[in-house]
A and B are shown apart, each in its own frame.
Chain A
Amino acid sequence: MAQRIDVKDLNIYYGDFLAVEGVSMTIDPKSVTAFIGPSGCGKSTFLRTLNRMHEVIPGARVDGSVELEGVDLYGDDVDPVAVRRTVGMVFQRPNPFPTMSIRDNVLAGVKLNNKRISKSDADELVESSLRGANLWNEVKDRLEKPGSGLSGGQQQRLCIARAIAVKPQVVLMDEPCSALDPISTLAIEDLIQELKKDYTIVIVTHNMQQAARVSDRTAFFNIAGTGKPGRLIEMNDTATIFSSPAEKATEDYVSGRFG
């Protein structure tokens, strides 16, 4: 249940504006890949092209290719809806559906994917997904309560449970801890280590310590100036990026000299 991603010469446009230019990278299965870089460098934009979520914005388009186990996500006969079922996503701010109970939140994706699911299967899936997100023990007695009543960190883990309930191959995380306190952040980071046994994880983070703690490989993005496209500067094993990066810009960034 984990697949590799190959990105080749990807350019991302919003209308005529080139937002990200010439990204090529390989993301290994069952590993954690972190994207770091200053604000506005296109790392979140790039992350969203990995499950075609950037298409939500009118005028957004790409050229180049993103292949999941050799299948181009941007092929003519590929449905973006199907892509997003395979490549799940967790957002910057926890976003459980406020009108749904905790249980219904976990099942939201499964029910969408138009499967009729028996009650016992549903119960099983809710439990396994919540266990997978390290949330089961905290919420097992209040599954029918609204998800919005949980703490921020619990809500974020609920969102992770919701994402893994549809059994994706890849889980994308867009700064999943930036709205959370340190304790909740630690809980999510521990969870990421668990999840990488089963999934390919890609995480965008502003927090370099977090990238160093959780990721196996790190990609550094940078931008030459306002209005210029973001670029992938360097990608390598996390230890190498943080100890002996090849590029001067990477070294300046990870040592805190800018950004």
Chain B
Amino acid sequence: MTTTDSPPDAKPGRLKPPARRRNSGDTERGFSRVFRWITTGSGAFLLLVLAAVAVFLIARGLPALTASPDELSGKGGLPTGMNSLWDLVGPLVFGTLLAATMALLLATPVAIGIALFISHYAPRRAASVIGYVIDLLAAIPSVVFGLWGGRTLAPIISDVWVWIAGVLDFLPFWTVNVTNTGRSLATASVVLAVMVLPIITAVSREVFLQTPTLHEEAALALGATRWEMIRTAVLPFGRSGVISAAMLGLGRALGETMAVLMILSPGILYSFQIFDSGQQQTIAAFIASRFAEASGLAVNVLIATGLALFVITMVVNMGARAIVARRKEFSGAN
């Protein structure tokens, strides 16, 4: 303030305000400062929501974790015939992982194929149409997928499962059971695969499109065919991005509720009979199917299974990060 009304000896004074600003580590003014708080606030809000969910799951799930076996089976917290919480959570975790893994195994190769077609093979106009259709697929509500999967797909695809079961019949150590209704985990996984396809495709396509022209030309100049160019330049470059994409898809497949609920005829077993009904169930579908009628300790049991799902998702994501980081040296980021 003193700088403005003392012209003759203003020079050192005029230099002071910026110096003071620098000292306080604050070179931002006006909206710049507001924007910093908006972004920081958004980040903090995300952590807060995550923490709130975690606290809720732990607090409300804890009674089920600490309850004695008698209480659990006595008060109707567990399905009949079960004595401990792990009898329930174990098979559910197994069923959830099995369904999500199968969905991912089915979806990822197809998604990579579509993404490569869009990014490197299709004429520009066709590529944008296909990209649009894929994005549309992502916008279909899961209940619609559930209806389609349960009503239309299941009866048709059961013939395929019967055929596969017939082919696998020679296995001496595994008798393949198969249901004629098609309401099996295999059918649910196919529908889950269709549901996670858009996200994996969209992310992979973006990654493939970002392959440096330099690397593609390096491969072509060595006499690579288009496929060899993709193999030497595009796929290694996109590897970590595709893994991230698959993990996004896995996240969706792990948590998908309605489609599984409407397709799968559930059972709570450790079972690899993926073509049979009444074998497995996923956590999310289990919660949705029981929550309306649950009360008392049964609610805590359901929330405890939800906690298990939360933990699985975190472990899966951390695993994916570790895979991506392991080959960082070769990622091309340096």
Spell out A's residues near B (CB within 8 Å).
Answer: 51, 53, 56, 81-82, 84-85, 88-89, 91, 93, 95-101, 108-109, 112-113, 146, 148-149, 159, 162-163, 166
Spell out B's residues near A (CB within 8 Å).
Answer: 212, 214-225, 228, 232-233, 236-237, 239, 327, 329-332, 334
Q: In the complex the two chains form, is A82's CB within 8 Å of B223's CB? A: yes
Q: Which of B214, B218, B219, B329 has the most CB of A within 10 A?
A: B218
Q: How far is the CB of A151 from chain B (nearest CB, A)?
A: 13
Known contacts A84-B223, A162-B222; is-contact A148 B217 (Cβ 8 Å): no
Find chain A residues with CB under 8 A from B330 CB: 98-101, 146, 148
Q: In the complex the two chains form, is A97's CB within 8 Å of B217's CB? A: no
Find chain B residues with CB under 8 A from A162 CB: 218, 222
Find chain A residues with CB under 8 A from B218 CB: 91, 95-97, 159, 162
Given A81-B224, A95-B212, A95-B218, list of 4 further CB < 8 A pairs? A84-B220, A84-B223, A97-B218, A112-B223
State A163–B327 Cα separation when bound (angstroms).
26
Q: Which of B232, B233, B327 has the most CB of A within 10 A?
A: B232
Find chain A residues with CB under 8 A from B331 CB: 98-99
Q: How far is the CB of B159 from chain A (nearest CB, A)?
A: 40
State A14–B212 Cα separation when bound (angstroms).
22
Find chain A residues with CB under 8 A from B219 CB: 97, 108, 112
Find chain B residues with CB under 8 A from A93 CB: 214
Known contacts A56-B220, A84-B223, A85-B222; is-contact A97 B329 (Cβ 8 Å): no
Tell me which of B215, B217, B223, B239 contacts A81 (CB under 8 A): B223
Tell me which of B217, B232, B236 contacts A91 (CB under 8 A): B217
Tell me which of B225, B228, B236, B334 contacts A149 (CB under 8 A): B334
Find chain A residues with CB under 8 A from B232 CB: 97, 108, 112
Q: In the complex the two chains form, is B332's CB within 8 Å of A85's CB? A: no
Closest chain B residue to A111 by CB distance? B232
Tell me which of B220, B223, B225, B334 contacts A148 (CB under 8 A): B334
Q: In the complex the two chains form, is A98's CB within 8 Å of B223's CB? A: no
State A95–B216 Cα separation when bound (angstroms).
9
Q: In the complex the two chains form, is B222's CB within 8 Å of A163's CB? A: yes
Find chain B residues with CB under 8 A from A81 CB: 223-225
9 example contacts (A-B, Cβ-Cβ < 8 A) are as follows: A53-B217, A81-B225, A95-B212, A95-B218, A98-B236, A98-B334, A99-B327, A108-B232, A162-B222
Q: How far is the CB of A51 from chain B (nearest CB, A)?
A: 7
Q: How far is the CB of A206 from chain B (nearest CB, A)?
A: 18
Q: In the complex the two chains form, is A100's CB within 8 Å of B217's CB? A: no
Find chain A residues with CB under 8 A from B224 CB: 81, 84, 112
Tell me which of A51, A148, A159, A166 contacts B332 (CB under 8 A): A148
Find chain B residues with CB under 8 A from A96 CB: 218
Known contacts A95-B214, A98-B331; is-contact A112 B222 (Cβ 8 Å): yes
Q: In the complex the two chains form, is A53's CB within 8 Å of B334's CB? A: no
Closest chain A residue to B218 by CB distance? A95
Q: How far is the CB of B115 from chain A (nearest CB, A)?
A: 18
Q: How far is the CB of A155 from chain B (nearest CB, A)?
A: 11
Report, nearest first, the 7 A-B pairs whose CB atoms are least far apart. A98-B332, A85-B223, A99-B236, A109-B222, A89-B221, A95-B214, A84-B223
State A100–B329 Cα separation when bound (angstroms).
10
Tell me which of B217, B223, B327 contacts A95 (CB under 8 A): B217
Closest chain B residue to A88 by CB distance? B221
Find chain B residues with CB under 8 A from A98 CB: 215, 236-237, 330-332, 334
Find chain A residues with CB under 8 A from B329 CB: 146, 149
State A88–B220 Cα separation when bound (angstroms).
10
Find chain B residues with CB under 8 A from A84 CB: 220-224
State A112–B227 Cα separation when bound (angstroms).
10
State A100–B239 Cα separation when bound (angstroms).
13
State A84–B217 Cα separation when bound (angstroms).
11
Known contacts A81-B225, A112-B232, A148-B334; is-contact A91 B220 (Cβ 8 Å): no
Find chain A residues with CB under 8 A from B239 CB: 99
Closest chain B residue to A96 by CB distance? B218
Q: In the complex the two chains form, is A100's CB within 8 Å of B236's CB? A: yes
Q: How far is the CB of B316 from chain A (nearest CB, A)?
A: 24
Find chain B residues with CB under 8 A from A91 CB: 214, 217-218, 221
State A68–B329 Cα separation when bound (angstroms).
41
Q: How far is the CB of B325 from chain A (nearest CB, A)?
A: 15
Tell me which of B214, B215, B220, B228 contacts A53 (CB under 8 A): B220
Find chain A residues with CB under 8 A from B225 CB: 81
Tell me which of A97, A146, A149, A166 contacts B223 (CB under 8 A): A166
Closest chain B residue to A114 by CB distance? B228
State A163–B232 Cα separation when bound (angstroms).
15
Q: Which of A51, A84, A88, A98 has the most CB of B within 10 A?
A: A98
Find chain A residues with CB under 8 A from B236 CB: 97-100
State A162–B228 Cα separation when bound (angstroms).
16
Find chain B residues with CB under 8 A from A95 CB: 212, 214-215, 217-218
